Structure 1
Amino acid sequence: MLIGYARTSTLDQKASIAAQERDLAATGCDKVFTEEVSSVDTKAREQLDAALDYCRDGDTLVVTKLDRLARSVGHLSDIVKHLEAKGANLRILDMGLDTSGATGKLMLNVLGSIAQFEREIMLERQREGIEKARREGKYKGRKPTARAKADEVLNLKRDGVGPAEIARRVGIGRASVYRILEDAAKVG
């Protein structure tokens, strides 16, 4: 059985998800799992997990592109190991790659490593660009939101409000509340 998986990073990429679903259907996928979530999001990719759980011995998980599936070589390796343990394979359409054979497995590892290398180079260039902009005074970073709300946090604490409730009312994390209270205790 061919099982498809389609993913977009944001909700406004309707055309992308529709194109992936179309390509997966044209390939003959009997069932397609779709979701709209970033690959780097810490939130679990529930539909990917569901697709992997759905796979059985002899099945093939099909994706249109490698970047729709895995966030890193390690993540890709985990997915492939999970599929292999179930006796299932992976097919990536735009690469013409299928892990049912030794060559497909080798190519997947090589291409996955290249994709991760490219991403790391891109992030390195981004960091260098930010650092250059900082040196030139063009990039300041985001303003610290929690510190800007220190007076409000301290006033609520004086009124007897607990840290969790302060965090909820002010719209910052509880750790930030504790940090502000700790800093105020050092000064005061």
Structure 2
Amino acid sequence: MSVLLADFNGIRNRLLKMTTSGQNLDSQVDALKAAGCSKIFSDKVSGLKEDRPGWNQAMEYLREGDTLVITELSRMSRSLAHLLKVVQELEGKGVKIESLRENINTTTATGRAFLSIMGAINQMERELRAERTAAGREAARARGRSGGRPKIDQKKIKQAQSLFAAGYTVAEACKVVGIGKRTFFRHKDNAEGPDSLEG
């Protein structure tokens, strides 16, 4: 990710571009420089990562009345829901957003309408997911299954405990019988807890 900053007619405008490590930045940088960008912040990670120092610095730098210009919306966020959250946060700070590729500008009625449509699509996706989840539960119930985790085979727990008592580490014992370490500790008789056992 790179964030390019510039001043236009005395108004600070922040121009931002995000990219994953290894991508050629030249064409994206050129597009933003053509829009008047002069300063660059960059991260060597994609928009999918949480820890993005360059992005965080740009967000701290933005002030009311600024415009954040990006080469394309997909560079700014990891999902539609996250994009809408970022847009809402920026608009809450009084920061406008412009995307060069999609030709979206939140200072225009068309740009605001586009973001409203994206918000409606995101809401629809959430509702469809909820409907599919409910339908899946109903189908499972009809087949005689209830929700939640499947019941643990006590035989496996005892096997893992025996292996542990025989000198295996918790991790080794759990791997051999096919259970998780948390399951082992949840069912471990007289164990002081995970920190007391090697694993």
TM-score using structure 2 length: 0.53
1:7-28, CA deviations, whole angstroms, 9 ceiling, x for partnerless residues?
Answer: 223x2x241x332222111111
1:5 Cα deviation after fit: 2.0
1:99-120, CA deviations, whole angstroms, 9 ceiling, x for partnerless residues?
Answer: 11232111234357669999xx
Indicate the residue corresponding to 2:57 in structure 1: 50
Does the residue aligned with 1:95 lie in a helix, a strand or coil?
A: coil
Indicate the residue corresponding to 2:18 in structure 1: 7
Q: Within 2, Cα distance between the matches of 1:37 and 1:59? A: 25
1:95 Cα deviation after fit: 1.3
Structure 1 segments, 4+ long, off by >4 Å, are 111-118, 157-161, 176-185
The answer (yes or no) to whether the contact 1:6–1:35 under 8 Å persists in 2 is no
**Structure 1, unpaired ranges of 5+:** 119-150, 168-175
Indicate the residue corresponding to 2:105 in structure 1: 98
Indicate the residue corresponding to 2:42 in structure 1: 34
1:37 Cα deviation after fit: 1.9
1:36 Cα deviation after fit: 2.7
Letter in 2 for 1:92: S
| Shift in CA distance, 22/114, structure 1 to aligned 2, threshold 3 Å | farther
How many pairs align?
141
The answer (yes or no) to whether the contact 2:72–2:102 under 8 Å persists in 1 is yes
The answer (yes or no) to whether the contact 1:59–1:87 under 8 Å persists in 2 is yes
> Are 1:21 and 2:29 an aligned pair?
yes
Matching of residues 172-183 of structure 1 within 5 Å: 177-179=181-183
TM-score using structure 1 length: 0.56
Matching of residues 61-140 of structure 1 within 5 Å: 61-110=68-117
**Structure 2, unpaired ranges of 5+:** 1-11, 126-159, 173-179, 190-199
User: 1 or 2, which has the higher helix percentage?
Assistant: 1
Indicate the residue corresponding to 1:59 in structure 2: 66
The answer (yes or no) to whether the contact 2:41–2:58 under 8 Å persists in 1 is yes
Identity %: 31
1:54 Cα deviation after fit: 1.0
Letter in 1 for 2:75: R
| Shift in CA distance, 29/158, structure 1 to aligned 2, threshold 3 Å | farther
Instruction: Say what the alpha-carbon RMSD is for the aligned residues.
Output: 4.0
